[in-house]
Amino acid sequence: MNALLQSFNSQMSAVVENVRQSLVQLANGHHGTGAGTIWHPEGLILTNAHVVSGRPAARGYAAIDRTLQVTLWDGRTYPAQLLACDQKLDLAALAIKATELPTIELGNARALKAGAWVIAIGHPWGIVGAASAGAVIDVGFPLELPRYPGELIQVGLQLRPGHSGGPLVDSDGRLVGINTMIAGPQVGLAIPINVVKHFLKENLGKAA
């Protein structure tokens, strides 16, 4: 049993270390910061609408600040252009002038089962690249957010301010969602990858 736990710990540590390279920090010009996830090596980044606006999504603000800066894992900083934003889905797509960026292999959120192990990575309270792990509760329409226009991944882990916009990955390090908000003391919500793909296709004409 001890050998199995050590092997699992090593695997999870390797997953986190690899995923961190595709995690970015986002500053919105209002002293607000959050996370983002590199989606395409040519500078396409996904995050939450409330991260780029600097205001909580739950309050329904629509104003978007365009003074956006992205800091990569290696410390390079770029101004970012806002390409698309959907307040209802709480998704935003950004572009920076960078190439050959590391991305995360895409997974399948619809294949997640209750109890499956996942990891959320972000910058909670300014702790860069912190990881929080937990088990999937459900993938579907959350009862606590009846007005949300899509499915969400409900996970038994602690998301905190700064996790928003960061990646949620499965135990193999595949991207299954974008962290979005807290639903309870030990319940986090993430936007499934299939919803993200639809958002990109609707707004940018491409899903990858």
pLDDT digits (tens, 9 = 90+) for 22-33: 999 998 766 567
Catalytic residue of the set 50, 132, 163, 170? 50
Q: Quick one: CA torsion of 200, 134, 185, 192, rounded to 10 degrees?
A: 20
Strands 68-71, 23-27: pairing kind: antiparallel
Looking at per-residue pLDDT, the higher value among 13 and 7 belongs to 13
CB 77 within 8 A of CB 71: yes
| Global pTM value | 0.88
Q: Which residue among 123, 163, 164, 170 is the active-site one?
A: 164
Give which of 151, 142, 122 is closest to 25, Cα–Cα: 122
Residues 50-93: pLDDT tens digits? Answer: 998 754 443 333 344 457 899 999 999 999 999 999 999 999 99
Catalytic residue check, 164: yes
Domains of the chain: 20-103 (2.40.10.10), 109-197 (2.40.10.10)
Active-site hit among 22, 53, 90, 163 = 90
| pLDDT number for residue 174 | 96
Q: Locate tokens 């088990």: which residue? A: 135
pLDDT confidence of residue 24: 97
Find, among 12, 9, 92, 22, the residue nearest to 52 by Cα: 92
* 40 part of the active site: no
Residue-level pLDDT at 56: 43
Is 50 assigned a catalytic role? yes
CA-based nearest residue to 152, from 191, 119, 207: 191
